Amino acid sequence: MNIVIFGPQGVGKGTQAKLLASHYALKHISTGDALRESIKSGAPIGKIANNFIQKGEFVPDDVVNEIVEKDLAKHTNGWILDGYPRNLEQVEYLHSALEKLDQKIDYIIVLSAPHSVLVERMNQRREIENRSDDIEQIIEKRLELFREKTKPVLDYYNEHNIVKTLNGVGEIEEVNKYIIANIESLKQG
């Protein structure tokens, strides 16, 4: 089973993706985690990514596409993709890569939450994880960029009837049970 978990920053994609990966024995592929690891290790790709992340901008497609394709090729027994695709160009690239790998997306889970909840969660995350991209001006810029760039992605996938939009607000375990129940319902047909 291959799942894309989708939604704005702070909605809980990473947290839920990890739980779903464990529940369904899937590989969790997080573009954000991969980019942060590249930055931390001082890798050339991390240096490029850091320049964009610090400004609240999306990392260029070619950088993110390379990371995703390598991870997808390594994990052919099911995965949950977190933080990708974020624009229509990435959608095209993803489908081309999946076609080469004889894979497809089974489900897209979209998590939603009110703006105030997203901002509050990212402020809490900054305090806990000390993430430099979770400061007020960057938070607002990233949320606006998400709304602007990713709406066409959702419109595209909604046409293919593999999208389930769910409320991402609540206790982590409750949201996770709700997501699993909806995936099971989708699997039933």
Q: Which residues contact 142 (CB under 8 A, 6 or more apart)?
A: 8, 9, 56, 133
pLDDT one-digit tens code per residue, 151-165: 889 889 988 878 999
Which H/E stretch holds residue 5? strand 2-6
pLDDT one-digit tens code per residue, 39-54: 899 988 888 888 888 8
The answer to whether residues 150 and 61 touch, using CB atoms and an 8 Å cutoff, is: no
Phi and psi (nearest 5°) for 151?
A: -55, -45
Q: Is the pLDDT of residue 120 over 80?
A: yes
Question: Which listed CATH number (3.40.50.300, 3.30.2350.10, 3.30.70.20, 3.30.70.1400) goes with 2-188?
Answer: 3.40.50.300
Which residues are bridge partners to 111 per DSSP?
Answer: 166
Mean pLDDT of the chain: 90
Tell me the whole-structure pTM to 2 decimals: 0.87
Predicted local distance difference test score (pLDDT) of residue 58: 82
| pLDDT tier for residue 96 given thresholds of 50, 70 and 90 | very high
Q: Is the pLDDT of residue 123 over 90?
A: no
Predicted local distance difference test score (pLDDT) of residue 27: 95
Rounded Cα distance, 24 and 6, in Å: 18
* 43-52 long-range contacts, CB within 8 A, separation 24+: none
